[in-house]
């Protein structure tokens, strides 16, 4: 089964802070576009269990990912999709895939009950930096935009150290930062 534990630290940024980081850190000059397509049940069964499911469209490839709580971060379970399968999901015909369906069924969620809720587009810049991955995101969704710094690390300790160091060095206030899917669904409520 294709699974991984994601250890990441996130901070929403003001537009000015985002541009300051772009100027002061050697991020790539051009970002890469990725689109997240989000799904949920009518009863919000995923949210109730602290989970989320999405299709990420990136470089012409489609990956279905279920995110679940894990003591060290998030447990991600992946399935590859063809473009046709991804379009079927988006258009309301859910084609269960082995890895994610197994995990959903363990949570008593029927894959066929998932409904498409919308998408979030991100222009992402990534940089390997001192044993972590620095990620700078500009996202748009439901007539909103936001800016975010993410640090992906192999351990909580190394990620937290780099996160705190970067915020301090660049005079950025630490903010409570819901993940993208939470921000997306919150934007639907407003």
Tens of pLDDT, residue by residue over 60-114, are: 999 999 999 988 888 999 999 999 999 999 999 999 999 999 999 999 999 999 9
Residues 141-184 have pLDDT tens digits of 999 999 999 999 999 999 999 999 999 999 999 999 999 999 99
Please, which pLDDT band fits residue 2 given cuts at 50, 70 and 90? confident
Task: Give the pLDDT confidence score for residue 1 in this predicted structure.
Answer: 56
Q: CA of 164: how far to CAs of 118, 137, 146, 178, in Å? A: 33, 18, 21, 18
Strand spans (E) along 82-143: 115-129, 132-141
Query: Do the Cβ atoms of 55 and 89 come closer than 8 Å?
Result: yes
What is the phi/psi pair of residue 99, to 5°? -65, -55
Task: Give the pLDDT confidence score for residue 8 in this predicted structure.
Answer: 94
Distance between CA atoms of residues 90 and 37, nearest Å: 8
Neighbours of 117 (CB within 10 A): 14
CATH classification of 3-189, choosing from 1.10.10.10, 3.30.1360.170, 3.40.50.300, 2.40.320.10? 2.40.320.10
Task: Give the pLDDT confidence score for residue 62 in this predicted structure.
Answer: 98
Q: What is the pTM of this model?
A: 0.92
Averaged pLDDT of the chain:
95
Q: Does the pLDDT of residue 190 top 80, yes or no?
A: no
Domain locations in the chain?
Answer: 3-189
Burial of 146: CB neighbours in 10 Å, binned 0-12, 13-18, 19+: buried
């Amino acid at each position: 089964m294709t699974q991984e534990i994601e250890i990441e630290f996130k901070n929403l940024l003001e537009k000015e802070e985002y541009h300051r980081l772009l100027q002061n850190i050697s991020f790539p000059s051009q970002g890469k576009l990725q689109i997240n397509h989000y799904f949920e049940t009518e009863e919000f069964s995923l949210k109730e269990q602290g989970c989320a499911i999405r299709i990420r469209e990136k470089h012409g490839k489609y990956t279905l990912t279920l995110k679940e709580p894990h003591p060290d971060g998030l447990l991600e379970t992946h399935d590859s999709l063809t473009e046709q399968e991804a379009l079927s999901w988006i258009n309301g015909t859910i084609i269960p895939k082995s890895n994610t369906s197994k995990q959903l069924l363990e949570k008593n969620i029927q894959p066929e009950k998932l409904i498409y809720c919308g998408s979030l587009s991100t222009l992402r810049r990534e940089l390997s930096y001192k044993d972590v991955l620095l990620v700078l995101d500009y996202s748009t969704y439901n007539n909103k935009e936001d800016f975010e710094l993410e640090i992906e690390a192999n351990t909580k300790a190394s990620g937290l150290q780099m996160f705190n160091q970067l915020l301090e060095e660049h005079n950025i206030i630490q903010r409570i930062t819901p993940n993208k899917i939470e921000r997306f669904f919150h934007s639907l409520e407003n």
